[in-house]
A and B are shown apart, each in its own frame.
Chain A
Amino acid sequence: MKDDVDSREDRIANLKGMGCSRKRVEDARFTQGKGNYVDDIKLDGMLFGDFVRSPYAHATIKSIDSSAAMEVPGVLAVLTAADLEPLGLHWMPTLAGDKQMVLADGKVLFQGQEVAFVVARDRYAAADGIEAVEVEYEELPVLVDPFASMTSDVVLRPDTVADDGSPANGAHGPRKHHNHIFTWEAGDKEPTEQVIANAEVVAEEFMYYHRTHPCPLETCGCVASMDKVNGKLTLWGTFQAPHAIRTVVSLISGIEEHNIRVISPDIGGGFGNKVGAYPGYVCSVVASIVTGKPVKWIEDRMDNLMTTAFARDYWMKGRISATKEGKITGLHCHVTADHGGFDACADPTKFPAGFMNICTGSYDIPTAYLEVDGVYTNKAPGGVSYRCSFRVTEAVYFIERMIEVLAIELDMDAAELRRINFIRKEQFPYKAALGWEYDSGDYHTAWDKAMQAVDYDGLRAEQAQRIADFKAGKTRKLMGIGLTHFTEIVGAGPVKNCDILGLGMFDSCEIRIHPTGSAIARLGTISQGQGHATTFAQILASEIGLPADSITIEEGDTDTAPYGLGTYGSRSTPVAGAATAMAGRKIRAKAQMIAAYLLEVHDDDVEFDVDRFVVKGAPERFKTMKEIAFAAYNQAIPGIEPGLEAVSYYDPPNMTYPFGAYVCVMDIDVDTGVPDIRRFYALDDCGTRINPMIIEGQVHGGLTEALAVALGQEIAYDDMGNVKTGTLMDFFLPTAWEVPNYETDHTVTPSPHHPIGAKGVGESPHVGGVPCFSNAVHDAFRAFGLRQTHMPHDHWRIWKTANELGLHDQG
């Protein structure tokens, strides 16, 4: 028969399925400047909207006068909270169960807050209009420190206080103070206290994981177009969760969901920035309804850094206890979480501190307790997962620093301390003290491979020599060896415990096989650079035996794609990837019946082989998937519906737990504070590997974002609540010049509950990278008495550390 000429290997290669480094199908348009990002959208009569923003961090608004602005040529409307109030849209719900002002309602709570929305013919006219809007503010005392906020008389959010002045209960229970948002606990408090009180060794540390920002190269934006004739609203935007946005827009606007079409076009990076719902979206929709014209809103970089979606800002206090030999017995963690003026964290509803309770890390810690207090301050709202799954970055930083501090306390090698405390391979599935059940892992194998690859003992010997040379005045450079073994928790998640605004966090895939043996598959997720159109086709190719090149992947249009919760928290592969495999298996099941009919045997007498069904024991008798596809459309098969389509909504039974072992070697110039990253080795275990090329690219990118965060990137405020890092002049984004080459490596420990065993990888390098870079800085100074210094470790702070340790006195 015709397709019988190729060997089995050739047939497998021809599919370009799972495990091969298939080139990306997205790249043709991007390399030719033909991507379609939201700011590329141009509609007839389209207007442009932009915000008047507060220069103050905390102030009462006495008045807003837009009369002069309305005189500016090209300005069509100026919206304020007063205009939105009759529609009930001057406030909106946040993903965290709080609410947020769309436009300033009587006061502002952070610098850059949206005060009025100017709608004009184009962006220049809008900018002129903004200049002409007169707002009278009366300044209020500013709280930028969450600890001060928790004791201050100043009430930041009068709307959250009962008539008698006491804090009303919040979305997550009772509140301790009028500026307190929630307390969230995991684990056992008393037993943990007891274990620590009776321990042979206890290490304590306090660390600040500073505020930063995901800062994708493309800022947030949207185009809203209300078609009044048909009553349909179309909303294009930089949405990491288009379906959830549609539901939210429907709930707050009252427009029926079937009359709303949300489209995420190409997205220029997200990293968590584009998960939430922002005032710009609401104002654009309202402006389009008011003017009857399409309205575009695009943030500039300063708007982006100052207002949408900060990340981190966790003050973490830890105690870790161990035996004299270094066996860890208990862990206690308290977090003061600075959420800014509104609690707009993008976490599953029941997890106001995300998955911070993964903070026991890769270690077998029998007893643990975590408590998180969320606090309001005069900073921007957000609290998104910047290239991580819901606060996992904070958790991993915490435990990986605590391990280092414990190693100092025990006077032990930090690699060995990790080794003796890892959860052992045979303990999986492993139930952690803070509640999670880790699916699979083999930490010792990964760790030993990493230590060997970098010649860890050799590095330590070199470091010892360097310290001796430094002390002898022969060098001014110290050497740091940063270690990290991280365990992530990704793929949110099981509907039983994960939802956002009541929407279960399943995901979906729908497949249609065309008569000639090609296909289209649509998913509930949306790529922002991860290459879904490439990798999901690979999963399908392996599952259904049609070449990946013959499968189109589509995402992001809510009118056509099945409902899903979107792409963030490394959930695409664990959840939508699973849905894809499951839908593929439904296709295969029907194909099996068709094949059996065509081959005139019983269903059980045929089996799947790469790209065909063969008669068991008679491999020369087969039907290819291509033939089966055609048969599905061209003949009546008794008892089988025509067509070949399937849909799967996948509710994962558990999260997935990718892990990895990272080593960073850096030289630090003690006199300038400049670190030179000599080597970075990253071993990742993300379970089954779908496309090694893309995995490697994700690792390079994630490590670079980790380098940024650890070594300089921050959103800093002064005491008046002014943002000090609002442009790319002050906000550190590394260039090619500052970034090293990375060595990547892997082990493969499949997830036992995922249909193809994949765990997700996009965020691992960021999660593991930050503590690794930071530990390297700390390690360089360990011999001189450093225990803990806060990130980001920019040149100035490193210099200061050296100075405080007295290392500049001898020169």
Chain B
Amino acid sequence: MGVLEEKKETVRKVVTTKEGPNLKGTMIAVMLLGGFIVLSWFSVYWLYMVRL
């Protein structure tokens, strides 16, 4: 990638972060998703421990 192109991109980045989209819902949804995974994991882990 040429130097010129890289420069252009940095300029664009600055512009877009200023008016970045509102992604609050996405953030929370992904966190809930992670939480669900951890919860399921630990519930089967618990089953493993009690059967050990």
Answer yes or no: do A and B interact. no
Q: Give the B-binding residues of A (Cβ under 8 A).
A: none
Q: Give the A-binding residues of B (Cβ under 8 A).
A: none
